[in-house]
C-alpha cells in the first residue's frame, strides 16, 4: 500500500470537481467522500447535476478540474472500464438494460471485465439475493416490470464486484412497495461491506437509508450533514419534503 493510500484509507474522494458539457458548466467545486461501508445520499431536484456528478466519477462525463481518487489512486479522467476495475460501478438512471437480452445475459455483461472463474457462482449468489430474478432468469430484460428491471440493473452492477456502488434514481417511477423491496436489497448489499452512493429525487427515502447526505442545487452543494439532521432541517423540509 502506498503512503497516500494509507492516509486516505479505502475512501472514494471527490475534490474540487468541476464538469459540464460543451461550454456549459454543470458542477462547481464539488468535494465529498465516502468511507468504506458508508451509505451516502445526494439529493436535489431535476437538472441539479446529480447524474452528471455520478458520470464524472465513473468516467462517462469529462471532468474539467478537480480530482476523483479511490484508496489514494487517482482515477480522474480515467476510462470508464478502468474505474469499474478499480471497484466503482454505476447503476444508471433509467436502468439501461440490454432489453433484447435475457436476465442471465445482462448479468454476464456485468462481468465482462472479469477474468476469474467465479462468474457463474456470482450469478448464483445474485439469484439468492434477488429471488425474483430466478423466476425471470431466461426472460428478455425488456419484457420485465420496472421493479424487476431495477433489480436486474443492480445485479448487473454487482457482477463486477464493486467496492463502491453508485445508484442513480433507483426509485424513479416505482410504486412505494417496490421501492421498499429495493431498499431491503440495498441494505443486504450494504451488509456485505459495499459502500453506496445514492442519488435520489425521493428525498425521504434517501435520507432514511443513508447516514450522511449532500444537497445539490444547480451544481453546488448547499447543505451537508448527517441524514437524520437533514430530515429535520427546515430548508430541506420546505424544498424537498413538502412539509
Ligand atoms: N449529455 C448532455 N449534454 C448536454 N447537457 C446535458 C447532458 N446531460 C445533462 N445535461 C444538462 O446538465 C444539467 C444537469 O443534468 P443532470 O442530468 O446531471 O441532472 P440531474 O440532477 O441528474 O437531473 P434529473 O433529476 O432530471 O435526473 C441539466 O441542465 C441538463 O440539461
Ligand atoms: Mg439524473
Q: Give residue limits of the domains in the chain.
A: 1-87+162-173+185-243, 94-161
Q: Which residue ranges of the chain lie beneath pLDDT 70?
A: 1-9
Res 1: pLDDT:
37
Distance CA(106)–CA(99), nearest Å, equals 9
pLDDT tens track for 187-238: 999 999 999 999 998 899 999 999 999 999 999 999 999 999 999 999 999 9
For ligand 2, an ion, list residues with CB under 5 A. Answer: 50-51, 93
The predicted pLDDT at position 9 comes to 63
Q: Whose Cα sits closest to atom 17 in ligand 1?
A: 51
Query: What's the predicted TM-score (pTM) here?
Result: 0.92
Query: Residue 92 has what pLDDT?
Result: 86
Residue nearest to atom 4 of ligand 1 (CA): 21
pLDDT recorded at residue 7 = 42
pLDDT of residue 69: 96
* Percentage with pLDDT > 90 across the chain: 81
Q: Does domain 1-87+162-173+185-243 have CATH number 3.40.190.10?
A: no
State the pLDDT at residue 8: 45
Nearest CA to ligand 1 atom 18: 49
Amino acid at each position: 500500500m502506498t503512503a497516500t493510500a494509507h492516509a486516505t484509507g479505502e475512501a472514494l474522494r471527490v475534490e474540487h470537481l468541476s464538469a459540464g458539457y460543451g461550454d456549459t458548466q454543470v458542477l462547481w467545486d464539488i468535494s465529498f467522500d465516502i468511507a468504506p461501508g458508508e451509505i451516502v445520499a445526494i439529493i436535489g431536484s431535476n437538472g441539479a447535476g446529480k447524474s452528471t456528478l455520478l458520470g464524472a466519477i465513473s468516467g462517462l462525463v469529462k471532468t474539467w478540474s478537480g480530482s476523483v481518487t479511490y484508496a489514494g489512486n487517482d482515477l480522474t479522467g480515467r476510462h470508464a472500464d478502468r474505474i469499474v476495475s478499480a471497484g466503482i460501478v454505476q447503476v444508471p438512471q433509467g436502468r439501461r438494460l440490454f432489453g433484447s437480452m435475457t436476465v442471465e445475459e445482462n448479468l454476464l455483461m456485468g462481468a465482462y471485465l472479469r477474468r476469474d472463474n467465479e462468474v457463474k457462482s456470482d450469478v448464483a449468489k445474485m439469484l439468492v439475493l434477488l429471488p425474483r430474478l430466478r423466476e425471470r432468469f431466461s426472460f428478455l430484460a425488456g419484457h420485465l416490470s420496472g421493479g424487476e428491471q431495477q433489480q436486474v440493473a443492480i445485479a448487473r452492477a454487482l457482477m463486477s464486484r464493486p467496492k463502491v456502488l453508485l445508484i442513480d434514481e433507483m426509485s424513479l417511477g416505482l410504486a412505494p412497495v417496490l421501492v421498499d423491496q429495493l431498499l431491503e436489497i440495498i441494505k443486504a448489499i450494504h451488509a456485505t461491506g459495499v459502500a453506496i452512493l445514492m442519488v435520489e429525487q425521493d428525498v425521504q427515502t434517501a435520507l432514511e437509508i443513508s447516514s450522511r447526505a449532500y444537497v445539490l442545487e444547480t451544481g453546488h452543494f448547499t447543505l451537508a450533514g448527517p441524514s437524520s439532521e437533514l430530515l429535520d432541517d427546515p430548508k430541506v423540509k420546505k424544498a424537498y419534503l413538502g412539509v
